[in-house]
Amino acid sequence: MNEVLQIIKSRRSIRNFTEQQIKEEDLRAILEAGQYAPSGIGNQPWHFIVVQNQELLGALSDASKQVAKNHKIEFFRKLADNKEFHAFHKAPTVVIIAGDEQTPCSPADCAAATQNILLAAEALGLGACWINYGLFVFDGEESVHYKKLLNIPAGFRPFYSVALGYRKGEVPKAAPRKENVINFI
Ligand SMILES: Cc1cc2nc3c(=O)[nH]c(=O)nc-3n(C[C@H](O)[C@H](O)[C@H](O)COP(=O)(O)O)c2cc1C
């Protein structure tokens, strides 16, 4: 099978990482892949924040869990009450993908960049997981504080994040694909 198609199919969300930090050259290649995503009107409205400080990631996780305690989705509320749960799965590196709030396609553009990051990680033999839970903090009162700590540019909002690291344990199997999701006209 074509190598790109193989990578798209073999990518899985990885939530178990070794403590070993990823290589700088891999991180650079992954970030470059993010920057090569398509964007509406070619706006490239993204900004990437790399976080490798475990104390800060733990604080973001705790603050997000605090916000999630009042989430309308029960699954998220339950995770918030689970002391063992770390929103970034204790990954050694997290990339936050922030987008310019004034640019019309910003969420879609940033989602495209996020997927590129996931695929680049898979291509380089790293484990990765798209993480929204750890950004709940930006829906709460501590948003301004954490935006400052992360040096998020003015007018940008953290939309998504990706946990990155070396895989520990088995790669989970893909769920069966839903059927009847294609119309040919
Ligand atoms: C928008 C979005 C948000 C997600 N947020 C989280 C998250 O906060 N934590 C997590 O562990 N996985 C998260 N995931 C990963 C999904 O749970 C995962 O993609 C899904 O279960 C399918 O598994 P697969 O990625 O292995 O195919 C997210 C995925 C997407 C697309």
Long-range CB contacts (within 8 A, 24+) of 69-73: 71/136
Fold of 12-165: NADH Oxidase (3.40.109)
What is the per-residue pLDDT across 81-99, written as a single tens digit (0 to 9) for each? 999 999 999 999 999 999 9
Q: Please list, in sequence order, all residues whose beta carbon lies within 8 angstroms of the beta carbon of residue 103, skipping any fewer than 6 positions away.
A: 40, 43, 45, 109
| Domain boundaries of the chain, sorted by first residue | 12-165
What is the per-residue pLDDT across 9-18, written as a single tens digit (0 to 9) for each? 999 999 999 9
What is the per-residue pLDDT across 120-168, written as a single tens digit (0 to 9) for each? 999 999 999 999 999 999 999 999 999 999 999 999 999 999 999 999 9
Query: Strands 46-51 and 156-165, how do they pair?
Result: unpaired
How far does the centroid of ligand 1 lie from the alpha carbon of residue 85, in Å? 15
How far does the centroid of ligand 1 lie from the alpha carbon of residue 55, in Å? 23
Beta carbon of 85 within 6 Å of any ligand 1 atom: no
Q: What CA–CA distance (Å, rounded) separates 49 from 47?
A: 7
